[in-house]
Structure 1
């Protein structure tokens, strides 16, 4: 998330929370895709993590990007913690361990997303190169122990850091040691949202398998293909998971509001201060009866910010966020958005995808999700391996992109962005390629991951 929302409009009823989601509906002609990705900064000379302070730290990197991009700063008290394009474009933010995130602008085509990423990494090289900073595009830091990773000066992360060990064993690993890529897509109506949410929740384990890219922990193989996904299984079960209620009769905005109201809060922001209310109920804030802040009333900012602290496999805001994938090479980031656009923005492909998954029950979906971090595309549901299902889904996405017929300057439609997924289904995932390199060419060392030109290094 780039920055917390600022809207002091008071809200006092559940009805207003439901209306907030209805206000997110768009006509199909207005559908856009936003692509977010995180990456680990490191010093090229030493392969060490980058602290916030110092002449070559994260703050210096943000200051340099601010001047280069002419974007406005996002601050937390006196610290610069991000940037945003005041013209309505993208934003840059910091995750807890310094993961450097680009929240892309909502764009009409994957061609535009490709241009956005190319521009972003070109600017990063210009600014980060002289600071000796490079970036790893991988789902979990392959080498550093959690204690080595510097914390970023953000109040909300201080609150989360204190709360996470109370509700799971892996929350701090999630915060400091993982990176993801995320595709954000629109919905036209409540019914359209429900169908898209169900399809993408059911297929999120497939996305995890296709984009698996975190086989290392503490410099060694961890026995997994997506350690990032495994970490989420014991981070905070009250705010993560596969949302089985989304498949029940009566699912809609009201049902999601009731779910979100029951997820414990982290904070309430007033002015520049984040008040720690971790574990408190948003229902109490809505009623003006929050014990930690007596008499304080809920605002639309509080609601939007609370929704951003819920972490299911697919998250509903005024759009849908696909959250199951490890970050990977730039072509993989583009492939994720292309896959989701092809499936969700063509009605024929969307309906066919639902036909593919609608017979799966909650227990089967959960078992698949639990198996995927270890088994990847070899995981199965109803006797079918994900590799086989993946081929069907890829065919549907290709058909959807062809039907959209969005072409670039040389006449290509968006289907060519799916090529990396065709390769994954034929040749194996990034994680499997890295495991093979580690065992053979790298002689049991992860140091080669940090070298420019490795499969996970952004070619900046």
Structure 2
């Protein structure tokens, strides 16, 4: 967490408009719309296939120090003498998830070609130190063989609080923190109406998004019988702060409906002058009305709280699509491409809106409970999700064609959807391909899994 320099964030929350202001101030003209990608990846030791530690000669901290020494990244600490928990360079950052998963939070980009170029550049920077330390980085949504006790805890204040509080809310909370990895993308909005249209469409398509990117078929070294164990985990983390945000399914939904939902979610913490105060259990509404140990809420407290909500699609200063497993290198740009095509083309957004117009919260929520196991074979309204997925990909491709953002080789952004379309046309997910031809009883199963998921290997 970088040190706050904006003095307005320390101002007290005085009115309901102060709660709405974070969204209103984030509205942008279409000409300023950008794409903000995020991608997580766990690392394992190349010889033993054990998870890498946070510290030590071959830990993730050594990787961060290499980026500082060799590539101009700057260390980010929560306290002046505290451990490194993130890096900054320009508009990009490298952060750590609780179990040591390395996340590239890319700079906001104009098009998907730039998103992909940044990802490839990151992997090129990562390769020399990974080769030296014999680290393999895996493109998979749930750690394929590590148990909870095998994994480290990154020394971040928020994670300590979450580690104690979230297991009281859901049996898979620690799995979410330590063993899952995801790809996300952030998008801009021009108005309250635009934000709500995008949120409603993305929430309705949340389970389909999860199915399209299912890529975690293993649990502790064995196939678990489904497509995405990460999606299974998210069904039992903390349902107060996760899921499909039912209030936004109203036809008249606006910022205030998201605010009302967020106000009733319990908090994690309050931060003052660099010091963290655990404040679990108290809703933000209660904190706003009654305070906490003499502290009154500020704009920074509110924005911090919004960042601790984990719905499938999250509204902050951007709209964050969150429902996908971390992919292989071949599919790394598919999620940003899919949602760029839908969100940033007027016709495509209208088509996606028409596709989902009469979908109900109840039926989509019920579908969400089956995705982890069935993937694209799940049935929805008498059709397999693979058929719905092809429709959605076609809508996104149309949007990307009309955007007409060309790469140096003359291809528009739809080129990044080609590998996803190929998979879905076969009725397959990435998880199906990972399991194809794999013998669960093979003595070198870990090696085979690593070879199939290694992000450094082109596939």
The reply to whether TM is greater than 0.5 is yes
Q: By how many angstroms is 1:73 displaced? A: 1.3
Deviations 1:90-132 (A, max 9, x none): 1000100000000011100111011100110000112232122
Structure 1 distance, partners of 2:415, 2:406, is 11
Instruction: Determine the structure 2 residue equivalent to 1:30.
Output: 32
Structure 2 distance, partners of 1:164, 1:282, is 17
User: Partner of 2:423: helix, strand, or coil?
Assistant: helix
Instruction: Determine the structure 2 residue equivalent to 1:179.
Output: 181
1:310-349 map, 5 Å: 310-349=309-348
CA contact (8 A) 1:209 1:372 kept: yes
User: Partner of 1:51: helix, strand, or coil?
Assistant: coil
Deviations 1:327-385 (A, max 9, x none): 01123220100000001111111101111111111111111111111111111222222
Aligned CA distance change for structure 1 residues 441 and 165 (closer, same or farther; 3 Å): closer
CA contact (8 A) 1:51 1:98 kept: yes
Deviations 1:412-454 (A, max 9, x none): 1111000111111123211111222323795782331223xx2
Structure 2 distance, partners of 1:163, 1:379, is 33
User: Partner of 1:437: helix, strand, or coil?
Assistant: coil
Structure 1 distance, partners of 2:121, 2:352, is 33
CA contact (8 A) 2:138 2:453 kept: no
Is 1:459 the equivalent of 2:457? yes
Structure 2 distance, partners of 1:457, 1:316, is 30
Is 1:430 the equivalent of 2:434? no
CA contact (8 A) 2:45 2:136 kept: yes
Q: By how many angstroms is 1:5 displaced? A: 5.7
Instruction: Determine the structure 1 residue equivalent to 2:439.
Output: 439
CA contact (8 A) 1:136 1:457 kept: yes
Aligned CA distance change for structure 1 residues 412 and 27 (closer, same or farther; 3 Å): same
Aligned CA distance change for structure 1 residues 457 and 443 (closer, same or farther; 3 Å): farther
| Length-normalised TM-score, structure 1 | 0.95
Deviations 1:132-158 (A, max 9, x none): 222111000011110110111111000
Structure 2 distance, partners of 1:128, 1:161, is 29
1:255-270 map, 5 Å: 255-270=257-272
Is 1:45 the equivalent of 2:47? yes
Is 1:301 the equivalent of 2:303? no
| Length-normalised TM-score, structure 2 | 0.95
| Consecutive unaligned residues in structure 1, runs of 5 or more | none
How many aligned positions are there?
452
Instruction: Determine the structure 1 residue equivalent to 2:62.
Output: 60
Q: By how many angstroms is 1:69 displaced? A: 2.4
Instruction: Determine the structure 1 residue equivalent to 2:291.
Output: 290
Q: By how many angstroms is 1:207 displaced? A: 1.1
CA contact (8 A) 1:38 1:102 kept: yes
Structure 2 distance, partners of 1:444, 1:352, is 47
CA contact (8 A) 1:5 1:305 kept: no
Aligned CA distance change for structure 1 residues 4 and 284 (closer, same or farther; 3 Å): farther
Structure 2 distance, partners of 1:358, 1:336, is 22
User: Partner of 1:439: helix, strand, or coil?
Assistant: coil
| Consecutive unaligned residues in structure 2, runs of 5 or more | none
Structure 2 distance, partners of 1:440, 1:60, is 34
Structure 2 distance, partners of 1:440, 1:17, is 52
User: Partner of 1:275: helix, strand, or coil?
Assistant: strand
Instruction: Determine the structure 2 residue equivalent to 1:135.
Output: 137
Structure 1 distance, partners of 2:69, 2:256, is 44
User: Partner of 1:446: helix, strand, or coil?
Assistant: helix
Q: By how many angstroms is 1:57 displaced? A: 1.4
Q: By how many angstroms is 1:50 displaced? A: 1.2
User: Partner of 1:450: helix, strand, or coil?
Assistant: helix
Deviations 1:244-299 (A, max 9, x none): 21111331111111111111000111233221101112223324x334x21x1222
Structure 2 distance, partners of 1:61, 1:425, is 36
CA contact (8 A) 1:449 1:457 kept: no
CA contact (8 A) 1:168 1:236 kept: yes
Instruction: Determine the structure 1 residue equivalent to 2:354.
Output: 355
Structure 2 distance, partners of 1:367, 1:172, is 24
Instruction: Determine the structure 1 residue equivalent to 2:86.
Output: 82
Aligned CA distance change for structure 1 residues 19 and 76 (closer, same or farther; 3 Å): closer
CA contact (8 A) 1:35 1:182 kept: yes
Instruction: Determine the structure 2 residue equivalent to 1:281.
Output: 283
Instruction: Determine the structure 1 residue equivalent to 2:372.
Output: 373
CA contact (8 A) 2:245 2:261 kept: no
Structure 2 distance, partners of 1:220, 1:266, is 34
Cα RMSD, aligned residues only:
1.7
User: Partner of 2:324: helix, strand, or coil?
Assistant: strand
Structure 2 distance, partners of 1:159, 1:433, is 38
Superposed structure 1 runs of 4+ greater than 4 Å apart: 2-6, 440-444
Deviations 1:18-54 (A, max 9, x none): 0111111111111111110100011112111111121
CA contact (8 A) 2:390 2:425 kept: no
Q: By how many angstroms is 1:239 displaced? A: 0.2
Is 1:235 the equivalent of 2:237? yes
User: Partner of 1:349: helix, strand, or coil?
Assistant: helix
